[in-house]
Amino acid sequence: SYVLTQPPSVSVAPGKTASITCEENNIGDTNVHWYRQKPGQAPVLVIYYHSDRPSEIPERFSGSNSGNTATLTISRVEAGDEADYYCQVWDSNSDQPVFGGGTKLTVL
């Protein structure tokens, strides 16, 4: 079964690019989805199917997935992007969704 590994924290200066990784063997063979959770709020889907975005999510958010690493990239980071980010996949062997442990993005 999948065990998705995310860095506990990532820090980035405003206007710069943040990269949040999600690692598992051969994760590139499956679809990876990403969620943003601001403090005190429910998670929100920001990327699905590797790099598609819901209409309300800005183009600054993008995703990639290859080999053993999936990456959420946030360009031109703003203070409002500060949140916890979670990756998620579907484990077809056990027929259940699996979440990564989450990454706290801090905007310096």
DSSP letter string, 67-102: TTEEEEEESS--GGG-EEEEEEEEETTTTEEEE---
| Candidates 12-20, 59-67, 69-77, 99-107; binding stretch for other proteins (CB under 8 A) | 99-107
d(CA 52, CA 61) in angstroms, rounded, equals: 9
SS3 content of the chain, % helix, strand, coil (to 5): 5, 50, 45
| Candidates 16-24, 63-71, 73-81, 90-98; binding stretch for other proteins (CB under 8 A) | 90-98
Stretch 12-31: interaction string toward other proteins, x if CB under 8 A = -------------------x
Which lies closer to other proteins via its Cβ, residue 74 or residue 86? Answer: 86
Residues that bind other proteins (CB under 8 A): 31, 33, 35, 41-45, 48-49, 52, 54, 86, 88, 90, 94-102
